[in-house]
Every structure is written in C-alpha cells, then in structure tokens.
Amino acid sequence: MTDTASQTNGPNLVRFLTRKQGGIKMTWADRVTYGYLLLGVFVMLLPVLWVFISSFKEPANLSEYPPTLMPVTMEKVEVEGYKTPLPLFEVVQEDGSVKVMAQIRRVGIRAQMVDPENPGAGRVTIDVKKATPVRKFHLAIENYEELLDSSGGNIWLNIYNSAFITIVATLITLVMNSMAAFALSKYQFKGSTVALIAIIATLMVPPTVILVPTYLIVSQVGLVNSLWGVILPAVATPTGVFLLRQYMLTIPDELLEAARMDHASEWQIYYRIVLPLSTPALAVVAVFSVMSRWNDFLLPLIVLNRPEVHTLQLALAGFQNENGIVWHLLLAMTTLTALPLAFAFLFLQRYITAGIASTGVK
C-alpha cells in the first residue's frame, strides 16, 4: 500500500478517463487491465448506487417496468371541480399535434380526460395508447419520513439497539483484549505461552458451530432478549489480542522500567504508557469490532426474539416477511443501514485494509 494518498484519486481518475491520444502510450495489457477494472467498477458500484437511487423513488415509480433511471413522479395539476390533483398526460390529437390533458379516471384501455386550461369544455374519452404521462424529477424523501415515523418509532429503537451493541461491545473488546495483550507482551511468566495458545485456538471454533450451546449459556444467565446477550458472547476476539500483542511487543521495555523507577504501579503503566502508545493498533481493532457488531446477524437472530430489542439488521431482514415486501420502505432502510459504515469506510479505509493485510481476519 504505497500509493499516493486517497484524496488525489478523484482527479487522477478524471485525468485518466479524459486522456487523449498522444499522451502515454497504452500497451494492450494496459487496455485489458483498465477494461477489467472499469467493468469491475460497473459490477461493484452499480447495484449499491441503484439501491440508493431507488430509495428516492415513490412506490408507483418503483413498480414500473422497465425501471426509470432517475426518480420521477407524475406531474399533477389542480383542476376546478375536482377534489384531488389530476395527473397530466401528453395526448396525441387526431391532427397529430400534442396537447397536455389531465386524466380523471382510467377504465381499461380508455381514459377520461379533461383540458386543465378549460375544464368547462367537458370530458373527452381517449385511447390510453395515445397518452403518455408527463413526469418530472422528484426525490421521494417521503419514503424516509414514512420509515422514521411509521411502526410506532420502532426504527429508532432498532437504531438505538444497534448503536448500543456496537459501542458498548467495542469498548469492552478494546479493554479486555488490550489487557490480555499487555500481559502477554510485557511480562515473562509461567504459562504465558499456554494462555496465548488458548486464546488464539478459539479461532478454530467457528461461531456457527457453537450456536446451540451459546444460546444455552445466554439463556442460563437470563440474557435472552437482552442486548447484553449479544454483546458478551463475542467480546474476546483472538485476532484482537494477537494484533495488539504484536504491536505492544514493539514498545521498548525501557519505557516501562523508567516508569517503575518512578514508582508507577503496573496498572498505571498499562493505561498511561502502553495503551496510548498502542493507539494505531487499537484503532484497527476498534474498526473491526464496529464493523462486525454493526453487521452481525446470526447471533442477534437467535438471542433477540422480541421486536423491541431487534437490531437494524434484524428489522431490515424482517421487512420481507410481514406483508410481502414493502420496497419503498425497505430500500430506504437498506440505505440507512449501510450509510454509517459507508462513511466510516471513506475515512478509515487505510486502517481497515492495513488491518486485514496484517492479520488476514476481519
């Protein structure tokens, strides 16, 4: 990861895309590479972009086929004598000219329309094939408003639950793992290797394999339907201990000796010297913890059964089952759920990739 800082990427890309011939000559291998990468950009970005755009479409617009590229809505107009605004259509007249008319109702392949400028002229029956709706660009923010208002404010509970689990679990993970890493990197004592191996060995136990007993333990402690039942089973992460320990090994022991000379207690050495010096590694561990907690699905799925303790992920998955799929709410919710991590990614990409590259685990 020796490339230039990420802020120069935008202009770079633009320069690359608008580059004219006569610049640097591209070999065919370069062409294939860029072709592949651009195809990749298309396949990777388009789905997410599409969900984002779709989340601003109103329900009628969402159910259209073929889908419209941008969120649009029917242009409507108030016509004298009609209670609700009427949608506007462009109607091809018999002489071939086009006239804008408002539709009153549609029956099968015929529609009753009225001239909005001259409602007194009376209704005209028109073949729907000759009418095309007049539409304008429209961001359906209503989707988000409806999502946040509806379901009795449950969504705010979901957000709170997810945020609580993410923040508390990450804090506990940082404290527990850094304490263990401190012991395993800064002291020579009998059994330290055994302890390290015991911690690392838990990597070999996939969470899906111990699903049933985890549920038993959580329910024995009385934590079913409690957020703590999701937080506690996964607070000690072996990769976190490993990464922090490797980092703390690089902190010179002389610093600790000097502090001991000054009568610092071991606890003070831990939180006043070693912890502050390990911030980069702590940041990596924190980012991974936040990511996995915010996105976690299986453990909340089995531990949290009541709607009021559901996390965002559970609520999002639950949208499917209730009354079919309510796409306009679901898409808004998908966007909301993905946004925090998308922002985090923009700022923390380097930490995340550095962490993955150095431990191979997220």
Partner 1 sequence: MVPPNFEGGDIVASEAISRTLGTVASLPARAVGPFWKWAQRRLGLKKLPWLFLTPNLLSVICFSLLPVIINIIYSVTGSDNLYLQDRRFIGSDNYSTLMDCQNYLDASSCSRDLFWRSLGNLLMFVPLQVIFMMGIALVTAVALNGKIKARGFFRGVFFFPVMLSPVVVAMTWQWILQRNGLLNGILGFFGAEKFSWLADSNWAFFWVIFVTVWAHSGFFMIILLAGLQSIPGDVYEAAKMDKASAWRVFSKITVPMLRPVLLVVFILAVIRSVQTFDEIYVLTGGGPGSATMLLVQYIYETGFAAQPRNYGLAAAASLLLGAALLIFTMIQMKISGGKK
Q: Which of residues 317-346 bind partner 1 (CB under 8 A)?
A: 317, 320, 325, 327, 330-331, 334, 337-338, 341-342, 344-345
Closer to partner 1 by CB, 79 or 245: give it: 245
Number of residues counted as binding partner 1 (CB under 8 A): 126
Q: Considering beta carbons, is residue 155 or 330 the nearer one to partner 1?
A: 330
Torsion of CA 290, 325, 61, 117, to 10 degrees: -120
Provide the b/e sequence for 242-271 (b: ≥16 CB within 10 Å). bbbbebbeebeeeebeebeeeeeeeeebbe
Each residue 284-323 as x (binds partner 1 by CB under 8 A) or -, in order, gives x------x--xx-xx--xx----------x--xx--x---
The yes or no reply on residue 279 touching partner 1 (CB under 8 A) is yes
| Angstrom distance (rounded) from CA 40 to CA 172 | 38
Distance CA 244, CA 303 (A): 30
* String of DSSP letters for 300-339: HHHH--SGGG--HHHHHHHTTTSSS--HHHHHHHHHHHHH
Which one, 104 or 200, has the nearer CB to partner 1? 200
CB 152 to partner 1: min, Å? 22
Can residue 216 be called a binding residue for partner 1 (CB under 8 A)?
Answer: yes
Query: Which residues are CB-contacts of 67 (< 8 A; sequence separation ≥ 6)?
Result: 54
Q: Provide the residue type at 11 as one letter.
A: P
Which 148-187 positions form the footprint of partner 1 (CB under 8 A)?
175-177, 179-180, 182-184, 187
67 belongs to the binding site for partner 1 (CB under 8 A): yes
Residue 251 interacts with partner 1 (CB under 8 A): yes or no: no
User: Would you tell me how many other CB atoms lie within 10 Å of the CB of residue 223?
Assistant: 17
Sites for partner 1 among residues 113-132 (CB under 8 A): none
Closer by beta carbon to partner 1, 104 or else 171:
171
Task: Mark the segment that binds partner 1 (CB under 8 A) among 72-80, 109-117, 120-128, 208-216.
Answer: 208-216
Minimum gap (Å) between residue 89 Cβ and partner 1: 22
Q: Which tokens sit at 39? A: 């195809």
Shortest Cβ distance from residue 198 to partner 1 (Å)? 6
Is residue 324 left, alpha or beta, with left meaning phi > 0 and alpha meaning psi from -120 to 50? left
Give me the 5-34 binding string for partner 1, x by CB under 8 A, dash otherwise: xx-xxx-xx-xx------------x---xx
Nearest CA-CA partner of 4 in 318, 350, 241, 291: 350
Instruction: Write down the number of H helices and E strands in the chain.
Output: 16, 8
Distance of closest approach, residue 153 Cβ to partner 1, in angstroms? 21
